[in-house]
Amino acid sequence: MTFTRIIGTGSHLPGPAVSNDELAARGIDTTDAWIRERTGIGARHLAQPHEAASDLALPAAQAALSAAGCVAADIDLLIVATSTPDYVFPSTACLLQARLGINDCAAFDVQAVCSGFVYALSVADAMIASGRHRRALVVGAEVFSRILDWQDRATCVLFGDGAGAVVLEGGERPGILASALHADGRHAGILSVPGNVRGGGVTGDPMLRMDGQAVFKFAVRVLDEVAREVLHKAGLKPADLAWLIPHQANLRILSATAKKLGIAAERLVVSVDRHGNTSAASIPLALDEAVRDGRIRAGDRVLLAGVGGGFTWGAILLEM
């Protein structure tokens, strides 16, 4: 049987970190104490006006390729998870492909909001396992600062920009052990950007709108359920995990998920305190950080669990 395995990780954060106090100093009616207490967020990175998702994706992808010991030409599948693409089209994956100098590999975007990376990794896993592709570059890249209403203090303090990437390779050594993807479009209204481009202008509302409490409750429920689902598929228990990496939305959501699963706080990878919620980039950013600082080692069992607008959710259980 052919497995797929992560053989390299990379990430990129734009510019200097912007603290909660700096947001307040910019005129947002908030305090460092409120943001820390309700979300665990202390800072986030915000892209410069000229930076788009592909600009953040490029250095993250290059770092993942270098960590994998690959060159761009070794990649035969490129998937970018993003809800903040450079353009309506072409896809950010095609723009990234050109900038990496890869010719003629399949390249497309996946749009599943904050579950996007888990969706993209699961799709890449299936395409490699089918035997049609051998080595995939999977990227989560977001510039959520572009779709934030900076007058809405209940949302604008939560998000940040960034990118994370992995190289996934087929082979006989186990890597991805189980995955599960879900969506329920009946909940589209609790987290959305309900606008679009039409006739040369913007139609609808092009800003992120959220019912925070509904999202909170939904996220805590489905992250626990989908984590148990992939553990069950693989015949494993929470105690068999070395690390849990949930989507980095809010420290209270992360802690509640770990607690429900009976996973100690020390085995939870947390980056939301320094990155904010970077949507599809949050899981690969946290993964790369924990690989590079030596917490995640070869052979560790890691569970990635995402949840986001749609509503979408999913999980991947893997061995590094």
Contacts to ligand UT7 by CB under 6 A: 30, 34-35, 38-39, 114, 153-154, 157, 210, 212-213, 215-216, 249-250, 253, 277, 308
**CB nearer to ligand UT7: pick between 95 and 281:** 281
| Nearest-approach distance from CB 239 to ligand UT7, in angstroms | 27
Q: Are 227 and 305 in contact (CB under 8 A)?
A: yes
Residue number of the CB atom closest to ligand UT7: 212
Q: Are 320 and 302 in contact (CB under 8 A)?
A: yes
**CB nearer to ligand UT7: pick between 56 and 113:** 113
| Nearest-approach distance from CB 36 to ligand UT7, in angstroms | 11
Cβ-based neighbours of 308, under 8 Å, separated by 6 or more: 112, 113, 114, 115, 116, 191, 247, 279, 280
**CB nearer to ligand UT7: pick between 52 and 210:** 210
| Nearest-approach distance from CB 35 to ligand UT7, in angstroms | 6
Question: What angle is formed at CA 279 by the lines to CA 274 and CA 283, rounded to 5 degrees?
Answer: 70
Map tokens 């723009």 to a residue: 95
| Nearest-approach distance from CB 282 to ligand UT7, in angstroms | 8
| Burial bucket for residue 96 (CB in 10 Å: 0-12, 13-18, 19+) | buried
| Nearest-approach distance from CB 304 to ligand UT7, in angstroms | 14
**CB nearer to ligand UT7: pick between 215 and 296:** 215
Q: Are 274 and 160 in contact (CB under 8 A)?
A: no
**CB nearer to ligand UT7: pick between 7 and 307:** 307
Active centre residues (catalytic): 114, 247, 277
Map tokens 């305090």 to a residue: 31
Q: Are 215 and 190 in contact (CB under 8 A)?
A: yes
Give the relative orientation of helices 53-68 and 282-292 as an angle to the nearest 10 degrees.
40
